[in-house]
């Protein structure tokens, strides 16, 4: 139908244009067909090793470079786009429809980019297109969160561009291959990837903005941005040791916030950082098993995290909020959504036969194989914690717990269809992992289902659940409360604006003071001059400039006259 070196983002950008000028069922059909046709094309027509280059000025840009790594993310993003589009079919909002098509296209553009400039272009497009999915909520909170999100994302892009330019100057090459932490360019690009990956202290754009997005927008957001960053890290920085430590911190700290957070979509945002942490660890370890684990976990995470965001999106759509404190008992009126949410929760918790299990275990195994004993214990702690906050908390407080008395309707059909496909994929990949393993970029023999592994994982999870039951029965479990929890964002949301306001106020004050000081001084001068003996003289009256000029002219004139007469 079309050539195999056609960059996969093009169908999405064309579709975005068509979406702009169509409406109703035709628009829906175009949106659904784009990822289906594009995905089939990628699966059947595009093999590893295809590149398409484009010469611009003296530089060779590569908008299309396929290998097993980029193809895996290519398949993934088509699946994710399809799920999110079906989930959002009832949305009648041109802004969101166009933005989501462009956003999915930008993600595909980024993973098939063969050079850093092309990568930069799509990196920025990801930011600019996705922010509309936040702003489309059309609340003041969403508007402000969107601006903060954009500042982070654009900064990341600027760092990437700066790194790329330094690299060109030093090596003459634009190619996006292994980068490593050598020199300024390596660090700049690392930081750029790190912001998009939500490294600790650079992570709040995610927990700030995703929960403010529209119910359907959050599903798109959860799929693309952070996974593009994981892809970029896996290509540019495999085996970079610092990533193992960064990743471990990312798995551990968000679970504390997730336990006390009330907004269940923000809980999911924190658990997303936790899951990305496992991937970052895998990239940092850098063995074939670990890298496969990292990208396989990215693959699974997009689907199960998408499913969880869809379930919470359906609740938000029907009930109007996702606060743990206000929900409860929704299983009575949304039983299908509840069941599908439990499938997503089981997958993220890595229950055997669900998708998280077959990929997270690769990273865990690689961690212990490389002798990172303490870090492995930390990851085990984080695994138990995931189950606690995402696996139990999300479904429990939304659908069970105390009956909030809310009686609503089941989610719309298209949402149920999207969630069902995602749930089916979670179970399929979890029980038949060989199909996913066959797609992984590196060659490894790995099989997750041995007796030790299954037993230990079940023990870990069941006794974590036992802890939840026990804490609840003892009344020790912290209640869900309307609140805000301070995080690193506090720095730029409280003291920095306060300092800016203070600086503004002091500057204004200083200006006013100077004004009044100079006015008082002049007044004093005027007054003392008035008291001078000469002040009675008519030349000293107010506005003396004119009369002074006149008198000077008279004097000069007289001088001239005298001069002429003397000749």
For binding to other proteins (CB under 8 A), which residues are involved? 141, 255-257, 259-260, 331-332, 365, 368-369, 373, 376-377, 380-381, 384-385, 388, 400, 403, 407, 450-452, 455-471, 476-478, 481-487, 493-494, 497-498, 501
Least spacing, CB of residue 471 vs other proteins, in Å: 6
- Is residue 422 within 8 Å of 306, Cβ to Cβ? yes
Q: Which tokens is 156 given? A: 């990341």
Is the distance from CB of 336 to CB of 315 less than 8 angstroms?
no
Q: How far is the CB of 455 from other proteins (least distance, A)?
A: 6
- Which residue, chain included where needed, has tokens 């166009």? 98
Read off the DSSP letter of residue 74.
Answer: H
From residue 478, alpha-carbon distances to 71, 243, 260, 302, 474 in Å are 44, 33, 7, 30, 11
Report the alpha-carbon distance of residue 556 to residue 536 in Å, rounded: 25
Nearer to other proteins, 335 or 521 (CB): 335
In angstroms, what is the minimal distance from the CB of 295 to other proteins? 23
Q: 560 vs 38, 97, 228, 556, CA distance in Å?
A: 94, 85, 85, 6
CB of 389 to other proteins, least distance (A): 8
* Token representation of residue 321: 């909020």
Using the minimum distance from each CB to other proteins, give the nearer residue, 44 or 490: 490
Q: In the numeric block, which tokens belong to residue 69?
A: 């790594």
Min dist. Cβ of residue 476 to other proteins (A): 7
For residue 4, what is the DSSP state?
T
Of 476 and 534, CB closest to other proteins: 476
Nearer to other proteins, 24 or 479 (CB): 479
457, HSE (Cβ side, Cα atoms, 13 Å): 26
Q: How far apart are CA 421 and CA 444, in angstroms?
A: 28
Of the candidates 270, 457, 286, 283, the one whose C-alpha atom is nearest the C-alpha of residue 361 is: 457
C-beta of 53 vs 325, nearer to other proteins: 325
- Torsion from C-alpha of 87, 213, 484, 156, nearest 10 degrees: 120
Cα separations (Å) of 41 from 38, 331, 429? Answer: 5, 40, 22
Nearer to other proteins, 49 or 479 (CB): 479
Tokens of 34: 């784009």
Closest to other proteins by CB, 185 or 262 = 262
Shortest Å distance, C-beta 270 to other proteins:
11
Smallest distance from other proteins to CB 356, Å: 16
In whole angstroms, how close is the CB of 331 to other proteins at the nearest point? 7
Taking alpha carbons only, the member of 414, 14, 69, 393 closest to residue 238 is 69
Cα distance between residue 23 and residue 296, in whole Å:
37
Using the minimum distance from each CB to other proteins, give the nearer residue, 124 or 212. 212
Comparing CB distances to other proteins, the nearer of 177 and 369 is 369
CB of 377 to other proteins, least distance (A): 7
Nearer to other proteins, 449 or 462 (CB): 462
Helices (H), 331-475: 335-348, 355-369, 373-386, 394-399, 413-431, 434-439, 451-473
* Distance linking the first and last C-alpha atoms of the chain: 104
Backbone angles phi and psi of 60, in degrees to 5? -105, 110
Between helix 335-348 and helix 413-431 the angle, nearest 10°, is 30
C-alpha closest to that of 229 among 191, 266, 285 = 191
For other proteins, which is the closer residue by CB, 21 or 451?
451
**In whole angstroms, what is the distance from residue 308 CA to residue 395 CA?**
9
The nearer residue to other proteins, 115 or 487, going by C-beta atoms, is 487
- Whole-angstrom distance, CA of residue 261 vs CA of residue 397: 12
CA distances from 324 to 308, 329, 483 (A): 15, 11, 11
Q: Which is nearer to other proteins, 391 or 441 (CB)?
A: 391
CB of 361 to other proteins, least distance (A): 12
Minimum distance from residue 354 beta carbon to other proteins (Å): 16
CB 9 within 8 A of CB 34: no
Closest distance to other proteins from the beta carbon of 88 (Å): 28
Q: Shortest gap between Cβ of 453 and other proteins (angstroms)?
A: 8
For other proteins, give the closer residue by CB, 229 or 378.
378
What's the closest the beta carbon of residue 86 comes to other proteins, in angstroms?
A: 29
How far, in Å, CA of 290 to CA of 280, rounded?
10
CB proximity list for 451: less than 8 A, separation 6 or greater: none
């Amino acid at each position: 139908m079309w050539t195999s070196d056609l960059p996969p983002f093009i169908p999405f950008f064309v579709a975005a244009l068509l979406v702009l000028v169509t409406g109703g069922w035709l628009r829906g059909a175009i949106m659904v067909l784009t990822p289906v046709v594009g995905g089939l094309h990628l699966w059947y027509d595009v093999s590893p090793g295809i590149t398409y280059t484009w010469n611009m000025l003296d530089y060779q840009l590569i908008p299309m470079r396929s290998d097993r790594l980029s193809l895996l993310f290519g398949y993934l993003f088509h699946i994710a786009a399809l799920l999110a589009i079906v989930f959002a079919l009832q949305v009648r909002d041109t802004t969101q429809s166009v933005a989501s098509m462009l956003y999915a296209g930008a993600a595909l553009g980024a993973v098939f980019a063969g050079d850093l400039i092309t990568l930069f272009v799509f990196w920025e497009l990801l930011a600019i297109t996705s922010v509309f999915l936040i702003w489309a909520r059309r609340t003041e909170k969403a508007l402000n969160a969107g601006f903060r999100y954009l500042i982070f994302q654009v900064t990341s892009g600027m760092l990437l561009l700066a790194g790329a330019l330094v690299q060109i100057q030093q090596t003459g090459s634009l190619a996006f291959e292994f980068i490593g932490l050598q020199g300024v360019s390596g660090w700049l690009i690392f930081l750029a990837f790190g912001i998009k990956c939500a490294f600790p202290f650079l992570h709040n754009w995610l927990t700030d903005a995703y929960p403010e997005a529209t119910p359907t927008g959050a599903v798109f957001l959860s799929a693309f941005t952070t996974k593009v960053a994981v892809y970029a890290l896996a290509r540019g920085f495999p085996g970079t040791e610092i990533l193992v430590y960064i990743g471990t911190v990312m798995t551990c700290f968000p679970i504390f916030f997730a336990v006390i957070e009330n907004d269940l979509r923000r809980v999911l945002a924190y658990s997303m950082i936790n899951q990305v942490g496992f991937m970052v660890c895998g990239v940092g370890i850098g063995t074939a098993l670990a890298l496969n684990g990292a990208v396989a976990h990215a693959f699974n995470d997009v689907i199960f995290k998408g499913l969880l965001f869809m379930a919470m999106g359906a609740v938000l759509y029907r009930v109007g909020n996702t606060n743990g404190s206000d929900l409860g008992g929704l299983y009575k009126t949304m039983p299908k959504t509840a069941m599908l949410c439990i499938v997503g929760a089981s997958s993220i918790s890595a229950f055997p036969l669900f998708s998280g299990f077959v990929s997270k275990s690769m990273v865990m195994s690689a961690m212990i194989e490389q002798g990172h004993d303490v870090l492995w214990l930390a990851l085990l702690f984080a695994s138990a914690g995931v189950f606690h906050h995402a696996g139990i908390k999300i479904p429990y407080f939304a659908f069970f717990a105390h009956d909030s008395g809310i009686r609503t309707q089941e989610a719309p059909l298209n949402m149920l269809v999207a969630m069902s496909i995602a749930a089916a994929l979670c179970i399929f990949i979890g029980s038949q992992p060989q199909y996913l393993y066959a797609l992984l970029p590196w060659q490894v023999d790995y099989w997750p289902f041995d007796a030790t592994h299954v037993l230990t994982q079940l023990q870990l999870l069941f006794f974590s659940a036992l802890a939840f039951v026990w804490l609840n029965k003892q009344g020790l479990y912290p209640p869900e409360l309307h609140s805000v929890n301070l995080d690193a964002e506090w720095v730029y949301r409280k003291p920095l604006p306060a300092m800016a306001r203070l600086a503004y106020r002091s500057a204004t004050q200083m200006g006013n003071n100077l004004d009044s000081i100079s006015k008082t001084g002049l007044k004093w001068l005027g007054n003392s001059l008035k008291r001078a003996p000469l002040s009675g003289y008519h030349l000293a009256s107010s506005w003396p400039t004119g009369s002074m000029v006149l008198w000077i002219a008279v004097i000069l004139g007289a001088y001239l006259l005298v001069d002429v007469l003397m000749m």
